[in-house]
Amino acid sequence: MKAIFAFPLCIALFAISFIASSKMQFPLIWIMVAVTALWTAYDSDKVGLRLYKTELSHGPIVVFLACALLWILSFPWYLSLRHQIKSQGSPERESIVLFPANHSIQRTGANRLGHFQFVSPWRLAPDANAGRSAKR
């Protein structure tokens, strides 16, 4: 949904649920916020939102919390980002490298544990008897 339509839609949803809540004597607003926040979290994972360079590019849990706590701002923002991703492929997509290539391991066909490289060798704690012999 284009950004120009996302915010008025959210205002209309909020107004309709507010009016329905007052008529039904039931907090329908909270249910609407919870359902839209759950949908936003599910859809952000499906769309792959965390792979794009935006301020809202996080995992589904963070997107759910943002939508549940600041619904009036984050839900229209998500709708406009979703429209940009679906229509143009923008905002720009990040390239993620989980493990750097280790060509020596790939050539020998060794297992994947070779991909983890130690930054510095392990050092043992100094021994209490270091430098002393058993004979005195």
Q: Is residue 55 part of a domain?
A: yes
pTM across the whole model:
0.60
Question: Tokens 């907090």 — which residue?
Answer: 27
Q: Is residue 65 part of a domain?
A: yes
What was the pLDDT predicted at 6?
85
Structure tokens at 75: 């839900």
Is the CA virtual torsion 101, 102, 108, 113 positive or negative?
negative
| Residue 67 and residue 34 in contact, taking contact as beta carbons nearer than 8 Å | no
Domain coverage including residue 70: 3-87
pLDDT per position as a tens digit, 106-132: 555 555 555 555 555 555 566 666 666
| Residue 33 and residue 22 in contact, taking contact as beta carbons nearer than 8 Å | no
Q: Is residue 75 part of a domain?
A: yes
Residue 63 CB-half CA count within 13 A: 29
Q: Is residue 20 part of a domain?
A: yes
Q: pLDDT class for 35, splitting at 50, 70, 90? A: very high
Total domains in the fold of the chain: 1
Residue 85 CB-half CA count within 13 A: 22
- The rounded distance, in Å, linking the Cα atoms of 44 and 129 is 59
Q: Is residue 97 part of a domain?
A: no
Q: Is residue 30 part of a domain?
A: yes
Q: Is residue 69 part of a domain?
A: yes
Residue 55 CB-half CA count within 13 A: 5
Q: What is the mean pLDDT of residues 7-22?
A: 89
Q: Is residue 126 part of a domain?
A: no
